[in-house]
Amino acid sequence: MIKFTFRRATNIEESLVKNHIRVEFGNKATQIFFQKKLWIKDGKIIEVFLVHERLNDVMEEINENIYFAGIPIGSLWKNEFQLEIEGSLLILPYTEKIIKVKTNQFLYGKNIFVENIEPIKFNFNKGDCLIITGKNSLHFGIGKAEIGSEEIGNVPSNTILIKGLKNKPLDRGWYLRKGN
């Protein structure tokens, strides 16, 4: 049995998460924290949850055997925050950093190629986090840009824009692949 604890985020952890969201997606995206508190589930992976502040006192009173509360928004790895599927869904209405793909490939942990994206109306750099949507603006997940927006028109159509990751929860298909 894996041992874990569910606790309020430290000031340092909270700062890491909020700064990541602000830097990657803009000040407007930090609205997801309005009336919410960050909680941490320590275990094999350090998971970050967003919990409505009305539950905060109740959770602190219970203080043990809490397995899950709120919305899992990402995880912490060596003092870095990684936004994951549900966190990117919360940010979706507050950012322009959205790539719309023409195919469903990303849902299968596969790469997104330049030829498979709709025209982009914003600038981004290599390494930036981008939210991925599909037809009808269906939320697929999140990924990091392998090239900047200024390069898109100057590279072969089979150039990878976003690398698919089969073993990290960055796309909705991960739930099916991992049986979660």
pLDDT digits (tens, 9 = 90+) for 109-122: 788 999 999 999 89
Query: How many CB atoms are closer than 10 A to CB 74?
Result: 23
The encoded tokens of residue 171 equal 């796309």
Rounded to two decimals, the pTM is 0.86
The predicted-structure confidence for 58-112, as pLDDT tens digits, reads as follows: 887 876 777 788 899 999 988 899 998 899 999 999 999 999 999 887 777 788 9
Confirm if 145 and 159 have CB atoms less than 8 A apart.
Answer: no
Confirm if 109 and 171 have CB atoms less than 8 A apart.
Answer: yes
Sheet with 46-52: strands ordered across: 5-8, 36-42, 46-52, 71-77, 80-83
Termini Cα distance of the chain:
17
The three-state secondary structure class of 138 is coil
CATH numbers and ranges of domains, the chain: 5-90 (3.10.450.220), 96-178 (2.30.130.10)
Query: Which residue has better confidence, 118 or 175?
Result: 118
Distances 56 to 16, 31, 39 between C-alpha atoms, Å:
20, 18, 9
